[in-house]
């Protein structure tokens, strides 16, 4: 009995392998059965210019398989449904998003490629939308100091995404505050520090904010600096107003800038 069964199994195995051989041969050269990515999406930083009409991005995705795969996309783990007339369209495996919107479109994207043999999920690609809004405040109250006193003028930059750089206009453009041992503009906060005020410092100060990704630039409301008339500040010890953090993580090869500035006379 054992040998008979063994014989039957051998027959079955032979038949199977013959069948497999014939059924797989027409597919030879037509690539893998299960989808395999040939292109995966990469992360995108989109510079949003507020008055620019064409705001669209395309994430690419391509896979091979037999039968040819169909594609779907996810944002933050929920499926995107590209209905007619919606801002999404999928052509091939690529996802195009038009009329970009920083609230609805920022997130993590992934492409899925499926056929009857299975589904594969691409790596994660992020979409960051860099922007810089206008200042909301219209007016700033005057800052009143004694001659010789130290002062900090706050920039308070508007909502943004992307790295900012700061400068200050003194009275009228294009007269910018020059930095020296007495005056300092923090590139972390945008604030202007004057170690000890001199009569020539009296005037209007306007913070100028530039987004280094979008290259857009906005101005805050001017802050008037006025001198108090009740005397001159005597000498006093330095007081550190800006100090760098205890730990600064930085990638090898990059430039690091540690800010330090003190008020004093």
Ligand X SMILES: *[C@@H]1O[C@H](CO)[C@@H](O)[C@H](O)[C@H]1NC(C)=O
123 three-state secondary structure:
coil
Closest to ligand X by CB, 170 or 261: 170
13: tokens are 């195995």
Helix (H) or strand (E) holding 232: strand 223-232
Closest to ligand X by CB, 185 or 225: 225
Closest to ligand X by CB, 2 or 76: 76
Closest to ligand X by CB, 165 or 171: 171
User: What φ, ψ does residue 28 adopt, rounded to 5°?
Assistant: -60, 135
Separation between Cα atoms, residue 2 and residue 61, nearest integer Å: 54
CB of 27 to ligand X, least distance (A): 40
CB of 72 to ligand X, least distance (A): 16
CB of 227 to ligand X, least distance (A): 12
CB of 116 to ligand X, least distance (A): 31
Helix (H) or strand (E) holding 207: strand 203-211
CB of 148 to ligand X, least distance (A): 20
Residues 6+ apart with CB under 8 A from 248: 256, 258
Closest to ligand X by CB, 67 or 224: 224
Task: Work out whether strand 94-97 and strand 57-59 pair parallel, antiparallel, or are unpaired.
Answer: antiparallel
Q: In what order do the strands lie in the sheet with 88-91?
A: 57-59, 94-97, 88-91
CB of 77 to ligand X, least distance (A): 9
Q: Which residues pair with 44 in a beta bridge?
A: 127
Closest to ligand X by CB, 163 or 172: 172
Residue nearest to ligand X (CB): 107
Q: Give 233's DSSP letter.
A: -
Instruction: Residue 197: name the closest of 171, 231, 160, 163 by CA.
Output: 231
CB of 222 to ligand X, least distance (A): 6
Separation between Cα atoms, residue 155 and residue 22, nearest integer Å: 75
Closest to ligand X by CB, 103 or 246: 103
Closest to ligand X by CB, 55 or 62: 55
User: What does the binding site for ligand X look like in residue numbers (CB under 6 A)?
Assistant: 75-76, 104, 106-107, 171, 203-204, 222, 224
Q: What's the per-residue H, E or C state across 151-193?
A: EEECCCCCCEECCEEEEEEECCCCCECCCCCCEEECCCCCCEE
CB of 37 to ligand X, least distance (A): 23
Cβ neighbours of 79 (radius 10 Å): 10
């Amino acid at each position: 009995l054992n040998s008979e069964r063994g014989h039957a199994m051998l027959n079955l195995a032979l038949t199977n392998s013959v069948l497999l051989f014939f059924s797989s041969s027409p597919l030879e050269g037509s690539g893998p059965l299960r989808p395999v990515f040939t292109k995966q999406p990469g992360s995108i930083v989109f510079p949003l210019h507020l008055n620019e009409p064409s705001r669209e991005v395309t994430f690419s995705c391509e896979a091979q398989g037999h039968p040819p795969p169909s594609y779907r996309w996810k944002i933050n783990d929920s499926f995107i449904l590209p209905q007619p007339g919606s801002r999404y369209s999928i052509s091939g495996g690529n996802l195009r998003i038009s009329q970009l919107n920083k609230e609805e479109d920022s997130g993590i994207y992934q492409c899925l490629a499926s056929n009857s043999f299975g589904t594969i999920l691409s790596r994660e690609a992020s979409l960051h939308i860099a922007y810089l809004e206008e200042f909301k405040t219209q007016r700033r109250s005057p800052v009143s100091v004694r001659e010789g006193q130290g002062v900090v003028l706050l920039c308070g930059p508007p909502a943004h995404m992307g790295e900012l750089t700061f400068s200050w206009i003194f009275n009228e453009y294009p007269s910018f505050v020059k930095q020296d041992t007495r005056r300092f503009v923090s590139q972390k906060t945008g604030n202007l520090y004057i170690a000890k005020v001199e009569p020539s410092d009296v005037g209007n100060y306007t913070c100028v904010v530039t987004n280094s990704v979008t290259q857009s630039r906005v101005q805050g409301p001017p802050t008037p600096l006025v001198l108090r008339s009740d005397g001159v500040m005597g000498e006093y010890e330095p007081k550190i107003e800006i100090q760098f953090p205890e730990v600064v993580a930085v990638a090898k090869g990059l430039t690091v800038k540690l800010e330090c500035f003190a008020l004093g006379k």
